[in-house]
Structure 1
Amino acid sequence: MSIEVGSKLQGKVTGITNFGAFVELPGGSTGLVHISEVADNYVKDINEHLKVGDEVTVKVLNVESDGKIGLSIRKAKDQPKPAQSNSGRSRSNHRSNNDYRPKETFEQKMARFLKDSEDRLSSLKRQTESRRGGRGSKRG
């Protein structure tokens, strides 16, 4: 049986190491599921997720010329598409009404940042100098 990149297959875990798990595929070939491809969240100990003899569904990520097969369990899971909200805008482009700003160039952003920064700095200097009786305070 030819193993093609992108195909989903059933396999059996035959071995576990600290860096991943070996999975026997149909046809007798064996591939590696790297520890980063076991679950969507961080996996500290692969033994908490897999055991030798487990039946798993894997997706073929790559097939090397030397016969090594890269597999993924987390990519084999059917992931729901993110829900479209706010009349078709995706989440990454979504901004709430109170923080909406039109597109700015880098120079405009930098000018705004500098102005805000100078305003904050001058206000801070006024507050601290008046408390200390420094050079900026009015003397009678």
Structure 2
Amino acid sequence: MQLESGAVATGRVTRVTDFGAFIQFENGETGLVHISQIAHSFVRSVSEHLQEGENVEVKVLGRDERGRLDLSIKELQDEPEEIPRPRAIGRQSPQFENKLRSFMRDAKERTTGGERRGSGGKKGGRR
């Protein structure tokens, strides 16, 4: 029995790596669940989600150009209703904004203050 795209099967985790986990099926075939296919949320470490020897249900996404199985766990999970968004940064205090404005003005004056102005408009060397 060969696993086809769209099939759902249970396999055993045989190896966990930084980039994903290898799953072996009863028919002897092995496929990869890439780290991006483990969960809908950010996966920092595959080993936090999967352990060697564990049985997992996966969906076959297809095969790569070399015939290797591409697998997904997250395709079998309900997608979260709301994707967590980064917290908004609150407005800074007026004192901070005033200090920042003053710093920027002083920095601009320091960097443009060293330029020569009013040199007669002539550039470069001698006559």
- TM-score normalised by L of structure 1: 0.54
Shift of 1:2: 1.4
Structure 1 segments of 4+ aligned residues over 4 angstroms from their partners: none
Question: Matches of 2:63 and 2:16 in 1, distance apart?
Answer: 20
Question: Matches of 1:72 and 1:60 in 2, distance apart?
Answer: 7
The alignment partner of 1:75 has SS state of helix
Aligned to 1:52: 52
Q: Which has the higher contact order (CA 8 A, sep 6+)?
A: 2
Identical columns (%): 43
Question: Matches of 1:76 and 1:8 in 2, distance apart?
Answer: 9
The alignment partner of 2:70 has SS state of strand
Shift of 1:64: 2.7
Question: Matches of 1:33 and 1:52 in 2, distance apart?
Answer: 13
> What is the letter of the counterpart of residue 52 of structure 1?
E
Question: Matches of 1:15 and 1:26 in 2, distance apart?
Answer: 16
Aligned to 1:38: 38
Count of residues paired in the alignment: 81
- Alignment gaps of 5+ in structure 2: 82-127
Question: Matches of 1:69 and 1:75 in 2, distance apart?
Answer: 15
> What is the letter of the counterpart of residue 59 of structure 2?
K
> What is the letter of the counterpart of residue 74 of structure 1?
K
Question: Matches of 2:65 and 2:2 in 1, distance apart?
Answer: 13
Shift of 1:25: 1.6
1:14 aligns with 2:18: no
Question: Matches of 2:41 and 2:57 in 1, distance apart?
Answer: 18
Q: Deviation per CA, 1:3-55, whole angstroms, max 9, x where unpaired?
A: 11001000100001100000002300000000010111000011110100011
Shift of 1:63: 1.3
Question: Matches of 1:19 and 1:65 in 2, distance apart?
Answer: 19
Q: Deviation per CA, 1:57-97, whole angstroms, max 9, x where unpaired?
A: 000001134221100011123x37x7xxxxxxxxxxxxxxx
Question: Matches of 2:20 and 2:74 in 1, distance apart?
Answer: 13
